[in-house]
Amino acid sequence: MTKPFVTILDDEPEIRTLLSDVLQEAGFETMSFGRASAFEAALKQRTPDVCLVDLSLPDTDGLTLVHRLALEQGAVVIIISGRAQVQDRVTGLELGADDYISKPFDPAEVVARIRARLRGARPATRASNTARFSGWIAHFESYTLEDEDGTQTPFSHAEGEVLRLFLDAPKRLISRAQMQSSLGGAASESFDRAMDVRISRLRTKLREDPKNPQLIKTIYGAGYIFLGEVSWI
Q: What is the pLDDT of residue 19?
A: 97
Q: What is the pLDDT of residue 124?
A: 46
End-to-end CA distance of the chain: 27
Q: What Cα–Cα distance (Å) separates residue 20 from each residue in 6, 17, 216?
A: 9, 5, 40
Q: How many CA atoms lie within 13 A of 197 on its CB side?
A: 17
Q: Is the dihedral of CA 192, 197, 201, 204 positive or negative?
A: positive
Global pTM? 0.65
Q: How many CA atoms lie within 13 A of 185 on its CB side?
A: 28
Q: What is the pLDDT of residue 149?
A: 95
Residues of the chain with pLDDT under 50: 123-126
Q: Classify 99 in phi/psi space as left (phi over 0), alpha (psi -120 to 50) or beta.
A: beta
DSSP label at 97? -
Q: How many CA atoms lie within 13 A of 204 on its CB side?
A: 9
Q: What is the pLDDT of residue 204?
A: 94
Q: What is the pLDDT of residue 125?
A: 44
How far apart CA 209 and CA 20 sit, in angstroms, is 46
CB 224 within 8 A of CB 216: yes
How far apart CA 153 and CA 71 sit, in angstroms, is 10
- 3-state SS assignment for residue 162: helix
How far apart CA 7 and CA 30 sit, in angstroms, is 6
